[in-house]
Structure formats: structure tokens, C-alpha cells
Amino acid sequence: MSTLVQLYVYDLSNGLARQLSAQLTGRQIDGIWHTSVVAFGKEIFYGQGISITPPGGSHPTRIVEMGETAIDEDTFEQYISEMHQEFTAEKYHLLDFNCNTFSNECIAFLTGGSIPDYIKSLPTDFLSTPFGAALRPSIDAMYRHGAPAGLPTPPPEATRAAAQVSPNPALATGLLEAIAARAASGGPTGSYIPTPALTSPSTPDTAGAKSCADPTSFQSILKDNRAVIAFFTSKTCGPCRVIEPVFQDLAQQKTRMNRGVAFTKVDLGVGTAAAIAGQYGVRATPTFIFFLDGRKTHELRGANAPELRTQVDLLIYEAYPPHPHKSASFPAIDSISLKPILFTQIPNLDTLLSKLNEFIDSVSPWTGVLTQAQVKQALSKTVIPFLEASSRTPPPPQPPTAPFDYWPALVSSLVSNLTVGDLFPLGDIWRIALLNPKFSEWSAAKRDPQNPLNVLLSKALESKDVPRNYLLTVLRMLSNAFSSANLARECITSMRNDLTAMLVLSLLHENVAVRSAAASLAFNVAAHLQKHRLEKIESHGNIDPEDEDLDWELEVISALLEAIGRENASEDIVHRLTASLALLLRFSPYTGDLIPLMEVLRSRSTLTGKLQKGDGGVTQVEIRKLVTEVAEKLCP
């Protein structure tokens, strides 16, 4: 059952920022935003530590629907409990680690998304103004030794210093003092004191055109975006009012689809915007100037809506050309299911426990935070009953629970006392546990090197002579980690180096069962990445190479091609390896960079070699279709 997730957004300036900011800073600041997350009938926010209140006692400026979460309330409460250690009052910083940092973490955990960009972007935007730059040293000084008690506000001398660099010092002082007074009185609600974080949207949506009124901010926009469309306008310009709705509509549509594309409105009557116009020779309005990588590429004068749309599309096409494989036909690759390959077989748990207890009893002396008796009791009274309940068919009416926070100490004690060869029952226990959604989400939230998944994987990489049974168990355990999208993301990001080392070690193993498990893990990695890329293409129209890692992709593709070439025992393994290769190559943002490597590795001949009759050749029709398609369409 899914649960609605909302983001409550409060304006601590009570509308003053929207009314006065352009006069003070040369930039439109629509609010001083505080955010909180609302889910499971609770409003959660960060300021003087993490606080939780019933929603409805406050009046947010706006409510943003963040989607739904499949995570249950107990798992979320456990996550918040762990977050208390990270989001302490002492760590709070007005600009760098604030309520919006916390809200973004919570939204990512619950939905996999993030809070709107306009809420995250203001610290950079605000500090680019003389007003913000003058205030920054005082803000840093306030938090140098931890957050001050109560709601932090700039000291009077900082307020005066920042005000003096504003075009209107009196108004600047009034605005800062009004925000401080409102915050000190309890912010948007008297039931708690929200902690402000500075943000500067130009529109309520996350997409759209941003106003710009000074050369420094304009250069910042050019620097931060590949493609920029600048609309030079003025309040007395009639044609400007006619064309502006078209410009705003394009901005909403195109910036939502393409990160790195910016639309900015330069009103010549605001701030020092006339200096921007002078820099680019703008003498009449409306004028549109198009920039690619900071360089002016085209200028359009007048209110010509069709031509404006055409030039915007041309600029974005040049900045972000569609992937060369987007419109091509790949029937065999498109038929690949992206569901992860999971190892769901449940062994006799009593036998598994008996074997593990036998290994535990053989150790002397025993070291660690838990005694042998405590370890055995935890296994028999907590772990095994949880696995039994989780694997029961049909599942029990009440989902099984267990105190998972105790388990890392359990794993640590076992790993520090048992030999690698005796750890395979523990790896199998973890493999089974990861099939439980609640347990896998707990594992995803356990972001530290002592996460048992990290510990068990690291143990398998300590030497080249890892016992086959432990290697096989760890590979299957890692494959099952992909039963959870959140845990899969953690594996590919925080555990990427060890995960890759494990694949390279195992894909060429002499044992066919190990190679099969490694091929399954490789497929799960590639399938997860393919889902992520498809989402990016769906929402943004392209994939930004900066979001991925070329060196990692080269290493994995090289390992897959070598494994395909050597695999002569199992068509099923060839199938999984080829599917993995296909998913990595299909929408790779590095298509041009990969071609030289693919040629050196003789990728096409490696694959077509699998179509030959005889030893190592594949005979199944579906596999042959896939191998042929990858060889002919994706390999140079």
C-alpha cells in the first residue's frame, strides 16, 4: 500500500522578499524558504535537530506533491531515528546544511526524487549578489562552532554591512530585520520555530524563466548551463508583453525536459540590467540572444513567436543532440525484461543454523563485542525466525519484523572470528533476508562502511583464493540486493569499486555456477542502469555524461566481452552476458568514446564467433537473435 508524500514550503519573509528583493539585490527573490516533509500523518523538519509535529497546525505558502512511497511507516521511522545522529543542532548551517538539506534526503529515501531545484539553488544565486556576498562572512562566523541556541540571525553589524552594498540600504535593513523578527516569533506557526534556508525561485514551478538584473548573475547563468536563451525586455515595450507568454511557456517546457538549459529574462529597467544589454549590443526590445557553452550563437529581434520556437529547438538540439540509438529499431534488446535476476531458493534453515553453530563452536578464543553464546542466541531467537516468517507461503497476515540494528554487530562478530571458508552460511542468511522488502530498505538506509553488505563483499575480495562456496553465496546475495531499487542504487554508487572488482574476479572463474551467478549480477547492474537512463530520456530528453562514469563503463564492457569470448559451457551465461552488454551500450552517453575500445577488443568478431556451429556456439533462436543484433547494431 503506497502513501502520499508532500513537501510543505513556508516563506519566512511573509511576502517581503517577493516585493522588495529586486530593489535590494538586483535579483528577484520570491521567498526565504523553509521546508518540511509530510508523510504518514506527520510533519518532519530540521532546525534545532529533527522535529516531528502533526500537520495542519501551520499554514504553508505552498504544498508540493512529491508522489507516493511504497516504504512502510516502521521503516521510515527507523530511518528518521538513524538520521538524528547526522542532523544535529550543532551541524546546522544556514546556507550549507539546513532544513532543505534534510527534506531532500527524506524525499530521496521515500520516493527516489528530490525537492524542487528552485529550493536547492538559492544559496549559490543569493551569494552571487553583492548583498549576499557581504552577508556570507557573518553567517559563516555564526556557525563556525556549531549552531547557536535558538534561531540564528545575523548580528546588527552584519545586517548593516550587507545593507550598505544594496541599492537601497534602508529597505535592505528593514527586510532583514523583518525576517529575523518573524523567525524569532515562531516563523509561520507558533507551534515550532522553523529554520530558514535561503532560496530564490523566479516562478513557483521548478522549471521556467529566471529574472536577471546584473552582469555577475548573468555570467553565472552562462557558466552553469550549456544552453541559455536571454530575453531582453522593458516595461514600456508593447511587443514584449505579446511575446512574453510564448517565452515563459517555452521556458516551462524546455527546462523541465533538459537540465543545463536556462531561460533568463533581462528587464532593462531593473538593477544594472542595462549593463548586460550594453555588453551584447542590445539597443531595442524585444531581443533574444542564444548562447551555447557561454558563446553567443544567434540573435533574434522582434516578437516572432514561430521563429523563437524554431531557434530554441535548434539551440537545444545542438547542445543536447538525441542519442543516436533513440530512434533505431532494436527488437531483440527491447524484448529483454529489466526485472532483476533473484536467487529465491530457501534451504533448510535448521540445517543452515546447525552448520553455522558448528563453525562458531570451533573457534577459540572468541573475540568481539558479542560472545559466542550471544551470537548463537541472536541467530536462533531472532534471525532464523525472521527468515522463516519471511519465506512462509502464503505470507503471514502481519509482515515479520526484527530489530535489524542489532544485526551489524552480529555480522561483525562472526566475520572477525570465522575463516572465510566458514562464512558461507552467513552470506546465505543475508541472501534470503534481502528478499524481504523491509530488510532491504533498512540495508539501503544503512550508509556506512560497516553495513553488513559491505563487510561481506569486502571479505570476498581479501585474496584471490576465496573458497568457491563463499564466492558463490556473496554473488547471489549481491544479486538479491537488486530486489530493492533504493538498495540497488546504493550498491552501484557507494559500493561501485568493490562491486566491479567482484564481477571482474568472478566472470572468468573456473566454476560454471560462479560464472552464472556473476553473469546474473552483471545483468542486474546493467538493467538498473538502463532503467535510470530510460527515466532520464523520458523526463529530460537526454543523458548527461557527467552523471555517469566512463572509466567504470569501459572496465565493465571489457570484462563482459572477455567473458563472452571465453564462455563455452553455458548458453544461459552467454545470454545474460550479452544482455548485460546490450543494456550498457544501448543508451550509453559515451557511444563515441567506446568505439575505439570496442574495435581493439574485436567486439563484433567476439559476438559473431558465438553464432558459429561447434564448441561454444549458441543454438537457441532467441539468444542468436540477441547476439546478432548486438554485434551488427552496437559493435563497430
Lowest mean pLDDT among 8-17, 77-86, 120-129, 260-269: 120-129
How many other C-beta atoms are found inside a 10 Å radius of the C-beta of residue 539? 11
| The three grid cell numbers given for residue 125, joined into one nine-digit string | 544565486
Q: What is the mean pLDDT of residues 35-41?
A: 90
Backbone angles phi, psi at 569, to 5 degrees: -100, -25
Nearest to 116, CA basis, from 128, 132, 103: 103
Q: What is the mean pLDDT of residues 490-503?
A: 92
Lowest mean pLDDT among 138-152, 397-411, 564-578: 138-152
| 580 band by pLDDT with thresholds 50, 70 and 90 | very high
584: enclosing H helix or E strand: helix 571-586
- CA dist 190 and 182 (Å) reads 10
Indicate the average pLDDT of the chain: 82
Superfamily of domain 210-319: Glutaredoxin (3.40.30.10)
Residues 6+ apart with CB under 8 A from 237: 285, 286
- CA dist 121 and 126 (Å) reads 9
- Is the pLDDT reported for residue 201 higher than 60? no
| Between 3 and 155, residue with greater pLDDT | 3
Tell me the CATH architecture of domain 3-184.
Answer: Alpha-Beta Complex (3.90)
Q: Are 3-184 and 210-319 equal in CATH topology?
A: no
- Is the pLDDT reported for residue 162 higher than 70? no
| 362 band by pLDDT with thresholds 50, 70 and 90 | very high
At residue 16, the pLDDT reads: 60
Backbone angles phi, psi at 200, to 5 degrees: -140, 80
| 26 band by pLDDT with thresholds 50, 70 and 90 | low
Angle 424-433/452-460 helices, nearest 10 degrees? 140
Pick the CATH number of 323-339+471-636 from 3.40.50.300, 1.20.1250.20, 1.25.10.10, 2.60.40.10: 1.25.10.10
Domain extents in the chain: 3-184, 210-319, 323-339+471-636
How many other C-beta atoms are found inside a 10 Å radius of the C-beta of residue 85? 7
| Between 57 and 346, residue with greater pLDDT | 346
Considering the candidates 34, 93, 532, 575, report the single residue annotated as catalytic. 34
- CA dist 110 and 114 (Å) reads 10
Considering the candidates 93, 99, 106, 323, report the single residue annotated as catalytic. 99
Tell me, what DSSP letter sits at residue 545? Answer: G
| The three grid cell numbers given for residue 114, joined into one nine-digit string | 528530490
pLDDT single digits (tens) 513-538 = 999 999 999 999 999 999 988 887 77
Lowest mean pLDDT among 55-59, 100-104, 289-293, 559-563: 55-59
Nearest to 1, CA basis, from 77, 85, 70, 88: 70
Nearest to 113, CA basis, from 10, 6, 226: 6
313: enclosing H helix or E strand: helix 305-319
- Is the pLDDT reported for residue 37 higher than 60? yes
Told to judge if 325 belongs to the known catalytic residues of this protein, a careful annotator would answer no
Give the type of residue at 608: T
Residues 6+ apart with CB under 8 A from 181: none
Long-range Cβ contacts of 347-351 (<8 Å, 24+ apart): 347/428, 349/384, 349/387, 349/388, 350/384
Tell me, what DSSP letter sits at residue 401? Answer: -
- Please state, for a pLDDT cut of 70, what percent of the chain lies above it: 81
Told to judge if 34 belongs to the known catalytic residues of this protein, a careful annotator would answer yes
